């Protein structure tokens, strides 16, 4: 069963939009992208489904109401909902028809191009709207799919045995907290919790002193599966709707004290920030690459985690970046500084493998559920996706342009995640931004 999105006219690199901002080289949202999101035009307005194009948001509901888009009644009904869950759960044929219609509407030659009255009704500048969490997240699961990240963290705590015996056999994950998933731009309150310093006789309770970010990719579930019915690898891609940037904020001191024997809890559940735009798997079709080539001697995936299609096209050619701006840098007008840049192609487990494994015991996933990749890191220092790795557990603080240093995050720090996909013969597309600023703990 082949379920990987195919290339079609919507990916044509010669296709251009009649909106000039969408044709700027390096723009995140050209007509080949068309990511979905949910926005409010006013603070009290009803959430509406939109599509990013250039520097604007197309109001999909308004486009349907004026007859600019022709889709099935079922897809149209899903587009009128205040979140993306209904659209995510549509059959792939309906989603493809919607993407084709949007592409035609926003490309040169569209009848909409010269209609200024419709422009005012259908479009809003992105910077003028409030962007929301794009779906009602029923469940959120975070994984640990980067072998470089797992090896780095493991070597800090177990220098002689960085990777535990199960890592190369089974995708490791934990169930996160869906209620604390927030949209980009939402401030993050420093959590309080119980921690124990290595030299201390007993733990203490107070604000986290080792607050960290994690550079991740989030995958949104499309069609769900029935309870007790695993999704085989041959069908897994069809259950993925699209991806967003994800910051899995982590209180390392709380986490290190509490995680044994059951894993992350309060060190992770206080906030997870998601970027507001969902780049569809269809938009990512030109950027599919082979799954990570395992080194000689590594075990092959067990049969339920393997397929020819995944081996050939399971990877994503995405570059993810993280920047930091301290309060002092902001006061001085200093731009955020690049801390790391990582290649998603190096992930040991693909998104399809994460999904298939998640359902292998019969767990039912639903449209709008969220899977986190785990921290995306690489083999070099400049590819490390969190401060725990970059500062090597605080022993090698990072120097900022302001003269400050960071081992972990301070109050007032803003973390900015970005990402993009590019290759020869295709138009570069971006993932937008995932921002969050740290506020002092409530004591």
Active-site positions?
Answer: 149
Beta strands in 93-180 (DSSP E): 123-125, 130-131, 140-143, 173-175
> In the chain, how many H helices and how many E strands?
12, 26
Residues 253 and 204: their CA atoms lie apart, in Å, by 11
Pair 156, 393: CB distance under 8 Å: yes
Query: Phi/psi at 94 (nearest 5 deg)?
Result: -70, -40
Please give the biggest Cα pair distance in the chain.
73
Structure tokens at 345: 């192609």
Radius of gyration of the chain (CA): 22
Peptide bond just before 261 cis, omega within 30 deg = yes
Residues 261 and 3: their CA atoms lie apart, in Å, by 38
């Amino acid at each position: 069963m082949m379920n990987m999105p195919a290339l079609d006219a919507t990916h044509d690199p010669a296709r251009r939009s009649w909106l000039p901002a969408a044709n700027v080289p390096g723009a995140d949202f050209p007509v080949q992208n068309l990511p979905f999101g949910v926005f409010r035009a006013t603070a009290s307005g009803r959430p509406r489904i939109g599509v990013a194009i250039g520097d604007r948001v197309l109001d999909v509901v308004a486009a349907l109401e004026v007859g600019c888009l022709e889709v099935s009644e079922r897809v149209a009904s899903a587009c009128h909902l205040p979140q993306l869950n209904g659209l995510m759960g549509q059959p792939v044929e309906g989603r493809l028809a919607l993407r084709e219609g949007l592409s035609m509407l926003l490309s040169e030659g569209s009848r909409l191009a010269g209609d200024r009255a419709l422009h005012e009704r259908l479009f809003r500048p992105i910077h003028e709207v409030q962007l929301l969490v794009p779906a009602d997240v029923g469940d959120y699961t975070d994984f640990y799919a980067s072998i470089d990240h797992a090896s780095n963290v493991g070597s800090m705590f177990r220098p002689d045995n960085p990777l535990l015996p199960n890592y190369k056999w089974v995708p490791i994950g934990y169930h996160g907290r869906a209620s604390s998933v927030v949209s980009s731009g939402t401030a993050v309150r420093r959590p309080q919790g119980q921690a124990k310093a290595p030299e201390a006789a007993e733990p203490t309770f107070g604000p986290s002193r080792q607050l960290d970010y994690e550079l991740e990719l989030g995958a949104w579930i499309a069609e769900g599966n029935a309870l007790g019915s695993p999704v085989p690898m041959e069908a897994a891609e069809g259950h993925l709707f699209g991806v967003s940037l994800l910051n899995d904020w982590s209180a390392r001191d709380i986490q290190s004290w509490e995680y044994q024997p059951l894993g992350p809890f309060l060190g992770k559940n206080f906030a997870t920030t998601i970027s507001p735009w969902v780049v569809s798997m269809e938009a990512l079709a030109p950027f599919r690459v082979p799954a990570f080539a395992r080194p000689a001697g590594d075990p092959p995936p067990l049969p339920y985690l393997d397929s020819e299609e995944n081996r050939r096209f399971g990877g994503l050619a995405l570059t993810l970046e993280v920047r930091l701006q301290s309060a002092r840098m902001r006061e001085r007008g200093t731009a955020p500084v690049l801390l790391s840049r990582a290649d998603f192609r190096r992930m040991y487990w693909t998104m399809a493998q994460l999904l298939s494994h998640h359902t292998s015991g019969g767990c039912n996933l639903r449209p709008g559920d969220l899977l986190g990749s785990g921290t995306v890191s690489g083999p070099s220092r400049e590819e490390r996706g969190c401060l725990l790795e970059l500062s090597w557990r605080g022993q090698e603080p990072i120097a900022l342009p302001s003269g400050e240093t960071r081992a972990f995050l301070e109050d007032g720090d803003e973390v900015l995640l970005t990402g993009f996909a590019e290759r020869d013969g295709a138009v570069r597309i971006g993932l937008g931004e995932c921002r969050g600023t740290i506020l002092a703990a409530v004591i």
